Amino acid sequence: MVHIDDIRICVAQPEDEPRVLDFLRIHYYLEEPLTVGREPKQQDRADEIFNISNIVHGTSLMAIHTETNSIVGVVLTGPKDPGEADHLLEEAAVEGSTKWGITLKFLAMVERDANVFQRYGVDKALHIQVLAVDGKMRGKNIGGRLITELVEGGKQWGYEVVSADCTSHFSARLLERQGWECINTVYYKDYVDAGFCC
Ligand code: COA
């Protein structure tokens, strides 16, 4: 059995990319609601590349079980600026009507409506793209530890604001428990019903 004291948090390095992706394929993509809530359930390769490419920024963290050196949790983050919604729309245009292209359009709308930069008077923020904990290790506050250390790291790296789009009930609840403010709620169903998805 893994004891919580046997878990350390560290910054993910580019050489960790393959094992982080292996971890996400099991503990993130098979459950993340925006991925499995739509057909086809399988994530696009472009989605994986987008998320994994955040590691190069040096602001993504892994929770590691010290004894086995295995990953038990991950938070992938990257920088964003006031042009983020436009960047996402540009990528969405390149992707077209693929699953990932539709996700990008949705995330661009969420980004625009959240209006993080004007709301908090900043010109850059650290954005959480992925949060995942090993399915057998949930409920041990591993996600909470990753977020606490990320916010600390964010300050050291010069970010006054850390933001996230919580696509899961569990991640939203976790962040609210940590004192985060929910500034915008969008239901994917309403977005689809309004005909924005194609
Ligand atoms: N399904 C069912 N129960 C879950 C759960 C899930 N996906 N995530 C957490 N829980 C339960 C825990 O078991 C715990 O229950 P308990 O109080 O009875 O012990 C409770 O919720 C609190 O768990 P918490 O410690 O806050 O969560 P965590 O840090 O272990 O995991 C996530 C939270 C979001 C990282 C995890 O749900 C996850 O990896 N989900 C899959 C990927 C995903 O959807 N990510 C979010 C997209 S932004």
What's residue 191's pLDDT? 78
Residue 97 above 80 pLDDT?
Answer: yes
What's residue 5's pLDDT? 79
Q: Would you state the structure tokens that stand for residue 95, as one six-digit string? A: 């992707």
Closest ligand 1 atom to 166 CA: 48
- Residue 31 CA to ligand 1 centre (angstroms): 10
- Residue 135 CA to ligand 1 centre (angstroms): 8
Q: Return the residue matching tokens 């194609």.
A: 198
Q: What residue owns the CA closest to ligand 1's atom 19?
A: 139
**What digits encode the pLDDT tens for the residues 124-169?**
999 999 999 999 999 999 999 999 999 999 999 999 999 999 999 9
Angle at the Cα of 186 from the Cα atoms of 185 and 192, rounded to 5 degrees: 170
Phi, psi of 124 (to 5 degrees): -150, 155
Q: Would you state the structure tokens that stand for residue 191, as one six-digit string? A: 């977005």
Q: What residue owns the CA closest to ligand 1's atom 48?
A: 166
- Residue 87 CA to ligand 1 centre (angstroms): 30
Instruction: Report pTM.
Output: 0.96
- Residue 29 CA to ligand 1 centre (angstroms): 14
- Residue 73 CA to ligand 1 centre (angstroms): 11
SS3 assignment, position 189: helix
Residue 198 above 60 pLDDT?
Answer: no
CA–CA dist 152, 14 (Å, integer): 21
Q: What residue owns the CA closest to ligand 1's atom 7?
A: 170
Q: What residue owns the CA closest to ligand 1's atom 23?
A: 139
**Cβ(161)–Cβ(127) below 8 Å:** no
DSSP single-letter state for residue 65:
E
Closest ligand 1 atom to 141 CA: 25
